Amino acid sequence: MSISRRELLRSLLHTTGSLAVGGSVLGALPAGRAGARLLAQVPPPAPETLSIAGTREPSVPNVEMEPYRIDFPPAAIEDLHRRIDATRWPEMPFETGWESGTNDAVLRELVAYWRNDYDWFAVQERLNQRTHLRGPIEGEQLHCVVYEGEGADAPGRFPLLLLHGWPGSFHEFDAAAPRLAAGQGGAPGFDLVVPSLPGFAFSEAPRERGMNPTRIAERLHLLMGELGFERYGVQGGDWGSIIATQMARLHPEALVGLHLNFVASAPAPPDGVEPSAEEVAYRAARARFQGAETGYSSIQGTRPQSLAYAQNDSPVGLLAWILEKYWAWSDHGDDLWETFSRDDILTTVMLYWLPGRVLSSARIYYETSNPIPGTAIGGRVEVPTGYARFPAEPWGPPREVVERTYNLVHYSEPERGGHFPALERTMAWAEDVARFFGGLRA
């Protein structure tokens, strides 16, 4: 008698909590700080345990994706605090606000909070309440968080893959994912898979050149197959949107639908068609943004390694680099903390700092700017696509532009929100995602 991967995954979902609490530590994985344990494996399944990778082979364990828990020791935080205390702050002889980079006053206040009030171990404990899995995909360890939706036996049910970008992480969906799993508007919830992209957080740093969006798309499709999902939906913003688009091009037969809150491509109108006033305004705004706000992309797309030495050594330097993006790309007033919580920003930074993923995450820009020949694909996307155009998203072209690349069947314009809508406007984002995929499911 065989068991499906999905049935075994459901079994893991119901047992991971007890395993993570009660399991012994079998070994340690490399962390950013010497001696820091990144993740501790729970004991391997008994020989009779059924495989997540297929049917049972008697007396031969064959589990690929295994439960994990986050487990950094106090020494990792002591080292962080030592480095914060030793920060050599640049001289600021006059007030510059945000116009030439990170606001010094805002950064200093946040660093003081980080040093004295932010409690990583409370965050770590809370994150470990989720179901974390990690295992080899194409020979490199890939991490994901999985959620089982309510109403699991509802007809037409399918899972959703939620994809972050840079400087995001799986934590970006920590508030929104449970809402989708619980169901919106009386509809059944979705099973959710929230991976860390290769080279981010607890996914292994790629061991060779070429981990661009097309290759990541293939790896994530393999992950979904490993978890037993042959048909699924994908949602993405930032790099997640670009990767999701490549998944739709590579495996349209597997994707039920594609939902985006970021669109990178903005093809010109066909010959003989004049752009609308809205498109003209968007292109002008995008050009201004590109000139003033995308120096980070040029650096990470050409010389990410040079910058990484400084950021991997200085937590304040890393925070300054990332914090400015949350200011520049989000929908907020004068006070950034009316939109984000300090803990959310700091937890995001910690997921780069503690596992030492500064360089490996930034390399996605380099690999995209310098693709290995034959690894970049384009073309129109015929998978049914939904698009939520949040007003403060810098990469938010109007509907007519998006329709030139995508089979757009759902379009919305939320009243507020920017580049990080799952954090900024959690309810609005979750409702739009559920509405789109719920319509496809119906």
Q: Which residues are catalytic?
A: 238, 365, 419
CA distance 173 to 175: 6
CA distance 26 to 29: 10
CA distance 157 to 232: 9
Question: CA triplet 17, 203, 222: central angle to 5 degrees?
Answer: 90
Residues 6+ apart with CB under 8 A from 148: 10, 13, 14, 181, 191
Reference 158, options 228, 93, 88; nearest CA is 228
Residue-wise DSSP of 190-258: --EEEEPPTTSTTSPPPSSS---HHHHHHHHHHHHHHTT-SSEEEEE-THHHHHHHHHHHH-TTTEEEE
Residues 6+ apart with CB under 8 A from 352: 167, 169, 200, 201, 318, 322, 358, 361
Torsion of CA 219, 223, 226, 228, to 10 degrees: -130
Residue 9 parent element (H or E):
helix 5-22
For the chain, the residue count is 442
Residue-wise DSSP of 291-336: HHH-HHHHHHHH-HHHHHHHHHH-HHHHHHHHHHHHHHHS---S-G
Instruction: Indicate the SS3 state at residue 141.
Output: strand
Instruction: Indicate the SS3 state at residue 385.
Output: strand
Residues 6+ apart with CB under 8 A from 309: none
CB 49 within 8 A of CB 63: yes
Phi/psi class of residue 220: alpha, beta or left (left: φ > 0; alpha: ψ in -120 to 50)? alpha
CA distance 267 to 104: 38
Torsion of CA 44, 49, 52, 57, to 10 degrees: 120
Amino acid letter for position 25: V
CA distance 266 to 184: 32
